Amino acid sequence: AGTGESGKSTFIKQMRIIHGSGYSDEDKRGFTKLVYQNIFTAMQAMIRAMDTLKIPYKYEHNKKVSMFENPYVDAIRSLWNDPGIQECYDRRREYQLSDSTKYYLNDLDRIADPAYLPTQQDVLRVRVPTTGIIEYPFDLQSVIFRMVDVGGQRSERRKWIHCFENVTSIMFLVALSEYDQVLVESDNENRMEESKALFRTIITYPWFQNSSVILFLNKKDLLEEKIMYSHLVDYFPEYDG
């Protein structure tokens, strides 16, 4: 369980790679369009945010690039190299932007290759919001585990919160990097506060009184990058580290 973009689906993909059947080349090929879509969506989000945040483009010709289709790799590359877009990326906590943006855009030449086949890392970083309830069984030392992936957005939670009366364990994921971000659903509510509230709610439900609870703190790498310029105390004044 966990809030939106806490890394639940990515964790299950990792389990599939390590303990399951992994991803064949055919499986990976199925992610190609999703990788492209993630890149286009991220760049469009930054273009919109440039206007909202009143950040000027360094290179005038980038002002004219307002939308693009698959062949326009040069336009995406030019935009990503614009110092204005880089400033906009650094201010991503002020709008909604996928965590995988930098990873994909820094690897644009590889991804733009006509013979491109997504790597396992590309597959892991693809962002597709989970809707409903999806079950993944896998075999670990002759024991069958059934992991259930659920949607984390508020609108999705009501679909699953009552469905797990007899689960053995609940793994609750929290993205450590979300301390300075707001919810997709509500732009004045802090994501980490939402995670804390949902965690408190889940562990007090009577359905889960006999289930073990594992708190998984995720996205440590993004926290290490972000903490250098976005101070935790600005969002959690009680922190005195």
DSSP assignment string, the chain: -BSTTSSHHHHHHHHHHHHS----HHHHHTTHHHHHHHHHHHHHHHHHHHHHTTPPPSSGGGGG-----TT-HHHHHHHHTSHHHHHHHHTGGGS---TTHHHHHHTHHHHHSTT----HHHHHH------SEEEEEEEETTEEEEEEEE--SHHHHHHHTTS-TT-SEEEEEEEGGGGG-B-SS-TTSBHHHHHHHHHHHHHH-GGGTTSEEEEEEE-HHHHHHHTTTS-GGGT-TT---
Domain range holding 113?
A: 25-125
Mean pLDDT of the chain: 82
Q: Name the residue with higher pLDDT: 240 or 23.
A: 23
Residues 170, 107 share a domain: no
Binding-site residues for Mg(2+), in ranges, read: 9, 130
Does the structure show a pLDDT above 90 at 122? yes
| pLDDT for res 80 | 94
| pLDDT for res 11 | 80
Residues 209, 193 share a domain: yes
Binding-site residues, in ranges, read: 5-10, 99-100, 124-130, 149-153, 218-221
Determine whether 93 is an active site residue: no
Pick from 95, 47, 91, 87: nearest CA to 68: 47
Last residue of a domain, one of 125, 157, 180: 125
pLDDT tens sequence across 187-238: 778 888 888 888 888 888 887 788 888 888 988 988 998 888 888 888 888 8
Does the structure show a pLDDT above 60 at 70? no
Which listed residue (10, 82, 180, 194) is catalytic?
Answer: 10
Determine whether 146 is an active site residue: no
Which listed residue (14, 87, 153, 193) is catalytic?
Answer: 153
Determine whether 121 is an active site residue: no
Domain for residue 239, yes or no?
A: no
Does the structure show a pLDDT above 50 at 69? no
Which listed residue (127, 178, 181, 191) is catalytic?
Answer: 127
The CATH number for 114's domain is 1.10.400.10
Determine whether 157 is an active site residue: no
Which listed residue (3, 5, 101, 122) is catalytic?
Answer: 5
Residues 207, 230 share a domain: yes
pLDDT tens sequence across 134-145: 777 777 777 777
Residues 151, 88 share a domain: no
| pLDDT for res 15 | 78
Residues 119, 137 share a domain: no
Residues 115, 29 share a domain: yes
Last residue of a domain, one of 103, 125, 147: 125
Determine whether 87 is an active site residue: no
Residues 121, 31 share a domain: yes
Does the structure show a pLDDT above 90 at 84? yes
Residues 145, 50 share a domain: no
Domain for residue 187, yes or no?
A: yes
The CATH number for 207's domain is 3.40.50.300
Binding-site residues for GTP, in ranges, read: 5-10, 99-100, 124-130, 149-153, 218-221
Q: How confident is the model at residue 67 (pLDDT cuts 50, 70, 90)?
A: very low
Lowest-pLDDT range, 69-73, 170-174, 231-235?
A: 69-73
Residues 143, 56 share a domain: no
Residues 112, 43 share a domain: yes
Last residue of a domain, one of 91, 125, 159: 125
Residues 139, 73 share a domain: no
Which listed residue (149, 178, 180, 194) is catalytic?
Answer: 149
Q: Which burial class, exposed, middle or buried, applies to 156 when counting CB atoms under 10 A from its CB (0-12, 13-18, 19+)?
A: middle
Count the domains in the chain: 2
| pLDDT for res 118 | 94
Domain for residue 240, yes or no?
A: no
